[in-house]
Amino acid sequence: MDDTGNIVLQIDRLKKSFGKYKVLTDVSYSLPKGEIAAIIGPNGAGKSTFFNLITGYHLVDGGTIRFMGREITNWPRHRIARTGISRAFQVSNIYPRLTTFENVRQAILSQQRRTLNIFTPAHRLARKNTLELLELTGLLPYRDTLAGILSQGDKKKLELALALAGKPELLLLDEPTAGMSSEETHETMELVKRLNREIGLSILFTEHDISVIFGYARKLSVLYQGMVIAEGTPEEVRKNEEAQKCYLGEEV
């Protein structure tokens, strides 16, 4: 049986070095549709680099990336975003001098392909959608605040909102709860889980917080020394000796 129809993301033999330093030596990975999965690994293992390659931030040195069966390796960033992969950054990467509302509206206008409109005042467009998304991510009280002066946790929520505004098929979250209080972490991950369940959004995230990893991921992959050294359900990975030695052992 051909199951490529059920695979959102298929990565084969991905390689990336920075100068002589090999970050990813040989990474193969596949993510089924509607899955919620995590990539874990120690600091500097290459998790963010992995996301950077998928979203076109860096060019790959070797290997292929397929999204919904289509090869997207080394496509330009905006094209990858348009094709249905949205991303929230580890270090919040927002528009500091626009308000929270304007931040989200910008991403929505882009998704609606209205950014070439030079005639209609922007404040008349996408208002309802923007407010809905602000509400969903808990940012409504800060709609008129400049994004640059939001708290760390709220910046991360805005990151998530910008990613969701793209109406993606696949959502990549790089440490989505870093800098959040435990309450905010819970809220955010519940939202992510709900989106996964309700609209079948495929989600791949990285995290250091063990409770988040084991609480929300249905599939775990351990990235270590440039390769995926263990993979499976949280229980399987917890029992895996190699994974324990390399990573979990330090923290569990």
Partner 1 sequence: MKNKYLFPLILFLLAVVLPYIVPEFWVHVLTEILIMGLFAASFNMIFGYMGQLTFGHAAYYGVGAYTTGLLMVKANVPLLVCLPLSMFSAGLCAAVLGYFCVKLRGIYFAILTMAFGQLVYYIIFQWYSFTGGDNGLQGIVPPAFLGRAANPYYFFTLIVVALGMIALWIISESPFGYTMRAIRDNAERTEFIGINVQRYMHLNFIIAAMFAGLAGALWGPFNRSVAPDLCSWQHSGMPVFMTVMGGPFHFLGPLIGSAIYTMLMAFVTSFTEYWPMVSGIVIIVVVLVMPGGLLGLLGDRLPFLRKNERSAKETNG
Ligand X SMILES: Nc1ncnc2c1ncn2[C@@H]1O[C@H](COP(=O)(O)OP(=O)(O)OP(=O)(O)O)[C@@H](O)[C@H]1O
Q: What binding mask, one character per residue, do residues 74-93 give for ligand X by CB under 6 A, x or -?
A: ----------------x---
- Residue 196 interface partner, choices ligand X, partner 1, Mg ion, none, CB cut-off 5-8 Å depending on type: none
189 closest CA partner among 179, 198, 180, 177? 177
- Residue 176 interface partner, choices Mg ion, partner 1, ligand X, none, CB cut-off 5-8 Å depending on type: none
- Residue 43 interface partner, choices ligand X, partner 1, Mg ion, none, CB cut-off 5-8 Å depending on type: ligand X
Q: Which of 2, 5, 44, 116 binds ligand X (CB under 6 A)?
A: 44
Minimum distance, C-beta of residue 51 to ligand X, in the bound complex (Å): 8
CB 251: neighbour CB atoms within 10 A? 11
Return left, alpha or beta for 167; rule: phi > 0 is left, psi -120 to 50 is alpha, else beta: left
Window of 67-75, 122-130, 193-201, 238-246 that interacts with partner 1 by CB under 8 A: 122-130
User: Of 36-75, which residues contact partner 1 (CB under 8 A)?
Assistant: 55, 57
Minimum distance, C-beta of residue 17 to ligand X, in the bound complex (Å): 9
Which residue in this structure is represented by tokens 């084991």? 214
Longest dimension (CA), the chain: 62
CB closer to ligand X, 18 vs 59: 18
Q: Which of 1, 20, 44, 119 binds partner 1 (CB under 8 A)?
A: 119
Q: What binding mask, one character per residue, do residues 28-47 give for Mg ion by CB under 5 A, x or -?
A: -------------------x
- Residue 162 interface partner, choices ligand X, Mg ion, partner 1, none, CB cut-off 5-8 Å depending on type: partner 1
Could you give the 3-state DSSP secondary structure of residue 221?
strand
Residues 73/217/213/66 CA torsion (nearest 10 deg): 0
Beta strands in the chain (DSSP E): 7-18, 21-32, 36-40, 62-67, 70-71, 85-88, 170-174, 202-206, 219-224, 227-232
- Residue 145 binds to partner 1 (criterion: CB under 8 A): no
**Contacts (Cβ under 8 Å, ≥6 apart) of 124:** none
Q: Evaluate whether 16 touches 49 at the Cβ level (below 8 Å).
A: yes
- Residue 47 binds to ligand X (criterion: CB under 6 A): yes
- Cβ-count burial of 124 within 10 angstroms (0-12 exposed, 13-18 middle, 19+ buried)? exposed
CB closer to ligand X, 42 vs 234: 42
- Residue 6 binds to ligand X (criterion: CB under 6 A): no
- Residue 44 interface partner, choices ligand X, Mg ion, partner 1, none, CB cut-off 5-8 Å depending on type: ligand X
Instruction: List for the chain the helix, strand, coil content (%; round to 5).
Output: 40, 25, 35
Per CB under 6 A, residues contacting ligand X are 18, 23, 41, 43-49, 90
